[in-house]
């Protein structure tokens, strides 16, 4: 077996005398690891680059990939290892010009393996730069680089290389790099937040309402329906049921989505989708969540509608009118149906209304 070490720069003649000792020292731990008997010899490769060669014992010892991965690469002095192994000989090229571990996405892009990133920022910088050049040559499209919190010191390195922020979560930041010329075609960060409100009315024609503990001064004293945001991977209908339960302690059953609102440039300049859901109460005893809610009660529908803030707001008033129309069977909302799609192979929730054509009144389904 022959193992050759190449430096990335030419070396002054004054340093060549020390090379044999230096490479022998760096290589000793690797030699002990794989149990290769070798003798060193100083020579030159084409172009004047110094090379230290090692010849193995006659039994043609083969070094497994696992052995290469287990070498302390920083102790070898120049970074990461490139290797080439066959049945007759092996060449170990010491270089920090190694491609980052990654895999292709279905759109011609690259997703970097966040679990196999180098620890050293200097090594990462060199590998990242070389990887970007490599992927450009391969005509890849976009690069997705996910950096976990514990490797946040790599973020400035990536930004310096030309990566841009895409989004961040509690445990990581996602960076992207568009390789082709022209504007980026990578999808942007999530553009919307999704909220739900539960319109719950009992057999006494009373609406379940709350007063929030924290609200703008102009909304102080307003009795409103329970509202909140759905969480990741949560359905609209289950989110509405959960929010009502958390704020008031009332168990409910989803009936329909009666309306939804779409508005832009709200929190953090994101758009907002808000779904008003008709819910059927399954319990009556209120237990207030005192972290968010000041008070909660069953309020007569007429009294609820007559609140000045409801009457003076065209959108709120319209929502209440729709809910009242639904109670009078003059309006049909959207019920949820679970359907499978061949496009993604997943079960989806499709919201639509089903009206009995022989009945002029919408009774809902």
Average pLDDT over the chain, rounded to an integer = 79
Instruction: Give the pLDDT band of residue 289 (cuts 50, 70, 90).
Output: confident
d(CA 98, CA 125): 11
Distances (CA, A) of 352 to 155, 156, 168, 320: 45, 48, 34, 20
**Average pLDDT of the segment spanning 287-312:** 93
Q: What percent of the chain has pLDDT over 90?
A: 59
Residue 38 has what pLDDT?
40
Residue 52 has what pLDDT?
39
**Average pLDDT of the segment spanning 212-237:** 92
- Closest alpha carbon to 65 in 38, 89, 53, 83: 83
Residue 31 has what pLDDT?
40
Residue 27 has pLDDT above 50, yes or no: no
Place of tokens 């010849």: 55
Task: Give the model confidence (pLDDT) of 247-261 as tens digits.
Answer: 999 999 999 999 999
d(CA 264, CA 71): 54
Handedness of CA 229, 232, 237, 239 (dihedral sign): negative
With beta carbons less than 8 A apart as the criterion, state whether 68 and 92 touch: yes
Residue 348 has what pLDDT?
93
Residue 119 has what pLDDT?
92
Instruction: Give the pLDDT band of residue 37 (cuts 50, 70, 90).
Output: very low
**Average pLDDT of the segment spanning 263-288:** 94
Q: What is the 3-state secondary structure (H, E, C) of the chain?
A: CEEEEECCCCCCHHHHCCHHHHHHHHHHHHHHHHCCCCEEEEEECCCCCEEEEEECCCCCCCCCHHHHHHCCCCCCCCCCEEEEECCCCEEEEECCCCCCCEEECCCCCEEECHHHCCCCHHHHHHHHHHHHHHHHHCCCCEEEEEEEHHHHHHHHHHHHHCCEEEEEECCEEEEEEECCCCCCCCCCCCCEEEEEEEEEECCCCEEEEEEECCCCHHHCCCCECCEEECCCCCCHHHHHHHHHHHHHCCCEEEEEEEEEEEECCCHHHCEEEEEEEEEEECCCCCCCCCCCEEEEEEEEHHHHHCCHHHHCCHHHHHHHHHHHHHHCCCCCCEEEEEEECCCCCCEEEEEECCCCCCCCCCCCC
Q: pTM for this structure?
A: 0.68
d(CA 142, CA 76): 33
Residue 150 has what pLDDT?
96
d(CA 50, CA 10): 8
> Radius of gyration of the chain from Cα atoms?
33
**Average pLDDT of the segment spanning 48-71:** 40
Kindly report the backbone phi and psi dihedral angles of residue 21, in degrees, each rounded to the nearest multiple of 5, phi listed first.
-70, -40
**Average pLDDT of the segment spanning 31-42:** 40
Which range is least confidently modeled, 90-99, 200-209, 273-282, 307-316? 90-99
With beta carbons less than 8 A apart as the criterion, state whether 240 and 277 touch: yes
**Average pLDDT of the segment spanning 305-331:** 91
d(CA 215, CA 195): 16
Angle at 93 between CA 87 and CA 96, to 5 degrees: 140
Residue 279 has pLDDT above 90, yes or no: yes
Task: Please classify residue 88 by burial: count the beta carbons closer than 10 Å to its beta carbon, then call 0-12 exposed, 13-18 middle and 19+ buried.
Answer: exposed
Residue 329 has what pLDDT?
87
d(CA 363, CA 56): 86
Handedness of CA 128, 133, 138, 143 (dihedral sign): positive
- Closest alpha carbon to 334 in 250, 236, 244: 236
Token couple for 198: 């539960």
**Average pLDDT of the segment spanning 155-176:** 97
- Closest alpha carbon to 3 in 61, 46, 70: 61
Q: What percent of the chain has pLDDT over 70?
A: 70
């Amino acid at each position: 077996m022959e193992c050759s070490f190449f430096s990335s720069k030419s070396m002054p003649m004054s340093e060549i005398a020390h090379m044999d000792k230096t490479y022998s020292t760096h290589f000793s731990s690797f030699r002990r690891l794989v149990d290769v008997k070798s003798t060193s010899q100083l020579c030159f490769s084409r172009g004047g680059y110094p090379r230290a060669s090692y010849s193995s014992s006659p039994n043609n010892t083969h070094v497994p990939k696992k052995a290469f991965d287990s070498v302390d690469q920083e102790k070898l002095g120049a970074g990461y290892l490139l290797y080439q192994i066959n049945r007759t000989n092996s060449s170990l090229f010491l270089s920090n010009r190694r491609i980052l571990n990654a895999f292709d996405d279905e759109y011609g892009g690259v997703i970097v393996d966040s679990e196999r990133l180098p620890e050293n920022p200097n090594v990462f910088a060199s590998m990242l730069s070389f990887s970007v050049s490599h992927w450009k040559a391969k005509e890849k499209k976009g690069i997705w680089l996910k950096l976990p919190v514990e490797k946040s010191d790599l973020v400035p390195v990536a930004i310096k290389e030309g990566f841009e922020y895409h989004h961040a979560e509690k445990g990581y930041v996602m960076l992207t790099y568009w390789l082709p010329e022209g504007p980026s075609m990578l999808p942007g960060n999530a553009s919307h937040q999704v909220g739900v409100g539960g319109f719950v009315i009992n057999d006494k024609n009373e609406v379940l309402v709350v007063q929030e503990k924290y609200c703008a001064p102009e909304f102080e004293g307003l009795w409103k329906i329970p509202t909140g945001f759905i969480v990741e991977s949560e359905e609209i209908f289950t989110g509405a049921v959960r929010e009502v339960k958390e704020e008031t302690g009332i168990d409910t059953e989803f009936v329909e989505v009666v309306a939804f609102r779409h508005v832009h440039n709200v929190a953090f300049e994101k758009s907002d989708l808000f779904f008003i859901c008709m819910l059927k109460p399954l319990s009556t005893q209120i237990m207030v969540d005192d972290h968010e809610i000041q008070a909660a009660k069953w309020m007569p529908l007429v009294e609820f509608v007559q609140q000045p803030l409801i009457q003076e707001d065209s959108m709120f008033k319209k929502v209440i009118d729709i809910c009242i129309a639904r109670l009078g069977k003059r309006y049909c909302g959207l019920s949820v149906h679970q359907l499978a799609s061949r496009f993604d192979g997943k079960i989806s929730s499709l919201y639509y209304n089903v009206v009995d054509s022989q009945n002029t009144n919408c009774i809902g389904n």
